[in-house]
Amino acid sequence: MHTSIPTVPLNNGVQIPQLGFGTYKLSPESTRDLVLTAFDAGYRHVDTAQMYRNERGVGEAVAASGLPRDEIFVTSKLNNAYHAHDDALSAFDRTLEELHLEHVDLFLIHWPLPALGRYTEAWGALEEIYRSGRARAIGVSNFQPQHLRRVLAEGTVVPAVNQVELHPWFGNTEVRTFDAEHGIVTEAWSPLGRGSVLADPTLVRIADETGRTPAQVVLRWHVQRGNVVFPKSATPARIAENARIFDFELSDADMAAITALDRDERTGSHPDEENRTDR
């Protein structure tokens, strides 16, 4: 029996499952089987990207699962080299081919690349893709408020999500607040801080007291705050463990104690400094 996964409404009414399966660093060869493992554990949402080079494996798992297409939520992201309008459109065509799908549920600009300065051009391409029906929702990733302000001023569609680094050691409060004020759902990437936060004594204490694992406690903290999460694991037991977070609740005191762990510590690049277009 799977405990069902709640959904969160996006600003266009599309519902996104609050828990998904992250695929960054899953090898192209292992992706199909691991995504199928995740489906078996109850996940119905998969987060991939052109940059991860594993869209094909995700698509193979969707096909092999036998699940109805409308029960699965698939996100992919535009790679950094394709912010020019025509490049973005053809890169999206390749995404659909790799995934072997007629549409994705969500398509994001992966990084704003402010030094390149073409993210509003890319956003225009995503708006065309959205209007064509081949993405049920569009959004951004790693956008700071100043990047979002330009998209809101120059675009016609408000991004449905902003996918940013967020975990107990990196609360990303300014971005989370900006998103909330503009009806943009915050998706938390590296929700476990790539595993680094799991030995934190506060998390270990709360895990002991609730009879859960530190990973489950952290993921539960995210979902109780309304974040969308997609932890990654290549270990079947952990994939299942990370999905068992909907049958317990953290107290207000535990929630506050985890929120107080914020020490402004990123595991990944700062959005203003990530400027690589070679991947």
The tokens describing 214, both together, are 């530190």
Closest CA to 80 of 113, 56, 124, 127: 113
Is the Cβ of residue 111 or residue 130 nearer to ligand NAD in the bound state? 111
Is the Cβ of residue 136 or residue 232 nearer to ligand NAD in the bound state? 232
Q: How many residues does the structure list for the chain?
A: 279
Q: Does 231 bind ligand NAD (CB under 6 A)?
A: yes
Chain centre to alpha carbon of residue 4? 19
Closest CA to 34 of 52, 60, 16: 60
Is the Cβ of residue 237 or residue 253 nearer to ligand NAD in the bound state? 237
- Binders of ligand NAD among 20-39, rule CB under 6 A? 22-24
Q: Does 47 bind ligand NAD (CB under 6 A)?
A: yes
The SS3 call for residue 149 is: helix
Closest CA to 86 of 118, 55, 111, 54: 118
Is the Cβ of residue 133 or residue 217 nearer to ligand NAD in the bound state? 217
Which part of the chain contacts ligand NAD (CB under 6 A), choosing from 91-99, 153-161, 230-238, 245-253?
230-238
- Beta 7-9 vs 15-17: how paired, if at all? antiparallel
- Binders of ligand NAD among 166-205, rule CB under 6 A? 189-195, 198
The tokens describing 83, both together, are 């912010």
Known catalytic residue: 52?
yes
- Binders of ligand NAD among 93-152, rule CB under 6 A? 110, 141-142
Residue with tokens 């109780």: 224
Q: Does 242 bind ligand NAD (CB under 6 A)?
A: yes
User: Angle 201-210/252-259 helices, nearest 10 degrees?
Assistant: 160
Q: Does 241 bind ligand NAD (CB under 6 A)?
A: yes
Is the Cβ of residue 150 or residue 238 nearer to ligand NAD in the bound state? 238
The SS3 call for residue 227 is: coil
Query: Which amino acids are annotated catalytic?
Result: 52
Binding site for ligand NAD (CB under 6 A): 22-24, 47, 110, 141-142, 163, 189-195, 198, 213, 215, 230-233, 238, 241-242, 268
